[in-house]
Amino acid sequence: AQTVTQSQPEMSVQEAETVTLSCTYDTSENNYYLFWYKQPPSRQMILVIRQEAYKQQNATENRFSVNFQKAAKSFSLKISDSQLGDTAMYFCAFREDQFYFGTGTSLTVIP
């Protein structure tokens, strides 16, 4: 069965610093999509970034970038220049016939 593992339940980072959230997944498929979603406190879940498995180039969206290691089935999220508004629960997700989500990493940005 497909699984998504986020091994860091909680993390914290100083404002303006860089933090990396880890995610590993398991699949036998060759073509799939990976996503990071952000859920701020009491607010809606929003898409942060996505990666297509057949693209070797790591996706980047402003301060957010991923380190996609297909052979290792690893998909980490790097947040640069952390801001207070980055405080949220972050979910890694993998899509085949449905979406599979990790259990989330609660990130706190400290002023």
Partner 1 sequence: KAGVTQTPRYLIKTRGQQVTLSCSPISGHRSVSWYQQTPGQGLQFLFEYFSETQRNKGNFPGRFSGRQFSNSRSEMNVSTLELGDSALYLCASSLATLAASSGANVLTFGAGSRLTVL
Binding residues for partner 1, per CB under 8 A?
6, 31, 33, 35, 37, 43-47, 50, 52, 91, 93, 95-104
* Residue 44 or 72 having the CB closest to partner 1: 44
Shortest distance, position 102 Cβ to partner 1, whole Å: 6
Torsion of CA 74, 75, 76, 79, to 10 degrees: 170
| Cβ-based neighbours of 9, under 8 Å, separated by 6 or more | 103, 104, 105, 106
Shortest distance, position 12 Cβ to partner 1, whole Å: 18
Shortest distance, position 96 Cβ to partner 1, whole Å: 8
Q: Is 78 exposed, middle or buried (0-12, 13-18, 19+ CB in 10 A)?
A: middle
* Residue 16 or 23 having the CB closest to partner 1: 23
Shortest distance, position 97 Cβ to partner 1, whole Å: 4
Number of H helices, E strands in the chain: 0, 12
Answer yes or no: are the C-beta atoms of 21 and 107 closer than 8 Å. Answer: yes
* Residue 17 or 29 having the CB closest to partner 1: 29
* Residue 16 or 47 having the CB closest to partner 1: 47
